[in-house]
Amino acid sequence: MRPPTPSQTVGPFFGYALPFAEGGELVPSGHPGAITVHGVVYDGAGQPIPDALLEFWQADSAGGLDGGPGSMRRDPVTGTFAGRSGVGFTGFGRVATDADGHWTIRTLTPGPAAPGTLPYISVCVFARGLLHHLYTRVYLEDAAGDPLLDSLDADRRATLVARPEPHATYRFDIHLQGSEETVFLEFG
């Protein structure tokens, strides 16, 4: 196997390059199936991180993982981002945290991607100060039978389950470090 190209931090200046129009609007607001997922990214001192970048990848509501192009549609006339078409579901979102470390996405409840697992939204975390990105998952509900959740202690497990709020909204905070440190994943 070839050795991989190493990672480096996303640094402080990604904000004019990577975020794009409607990056967090995987579905248009007002979509009948839309849910809102939001939260804050914290550092090990419990301070919000205002320069993190989060990416989201998920199955569609039927559990399909084919995704689709068009997350970052470009306007060929002006050379700027045109926004999503509002038709189809790409399964991909990207948002930067705001000055309060807060982020929001509007999306569909993912369907189960495989039998014997609970549906979840995969999250990739980048930040200034973070030399190699981290993966975690947003589970919208907890239940027995998910191989990852069932491998965790109760307090660790709880870090992966979003808290329901009114109006089809879920709260999911990410702690890079500390007593409430989020479970981060490795693959393969």
Partner 1 sequence: MSTTPPTPEPQAVIDAEMARIQTDADKALADGGQEELQPRRDYPPYRSSDLRHPKRPLVAAREAFTELRGPVFGVTDVTELDSDLTRQHHGEPLGERIVVTGRVLDRDGRPVRGQLVEIWQANAAGRYAHKRDQHPAPLDPNFTGTGRCLTDDEGRYTFTSIKPGAYPWRNHQNAWRPAHIHFSLFGTAFTQRLVTQLYFPGDPLLAYDPIFNSITDERARQRLSAVYDHDLSSPEWSLGYRWDIVLDGPSATWMEEGR
Choices 3-11, 38-46, 129-137, 167-175; region in contact with Fe ion by CB under 5 A = 3-11
d(CA 58, CA 82) in angstroms, rounded, equals 22
Among positions 123-142, residues that touch partner 1 (CB under 8 A) are 124, 126-135, 137
When asked if residue 129 is in the footprint of Fe ion (CB under 5 A), the reply is no
Output the CA angle 186-129-148, nearest 5 degrees: 20
Q: By CB under 8 A, what part of segment 18-37 binds partner 1? A: 18
CA distances from 118 to 66, 67, 109, 136, 138 (A): 18, 19, 11, 14, 10
How far does CA 168 lie from the centroid of its chain?
A: 17
User: Residue 18 burial (CB < 10 Å; 0-12/13-18/19+)?
Assistant: middle
User: Closest separation between CB of residue 118 and partner 1, Å?
Assistant: 10
Size of the site for partner 1 (CB under 8 A): 76
Selection from 129, 148, 130 nearest residue 138 by Cα: 148
Give how many residues touch Fe ion by CB under 5 A: 1
Residue 170 CB neighbours (<10 A) = 21
43-82 footprint of partner 1 as x/- string (CB under 8 A): xxx-x-x-----x-xxx-----xxxxxxxxxx-x--x---
- Binding window for partner 1 (CB under 8 A); candidates: 3-11, 28-36, 97-105, 164-172: 3-11
158 binds partner 1 (CB under 8 A): no
Q: Which of 9, 36, 104, 169 binds partner 1 (CB under 8 A)?
A: 9
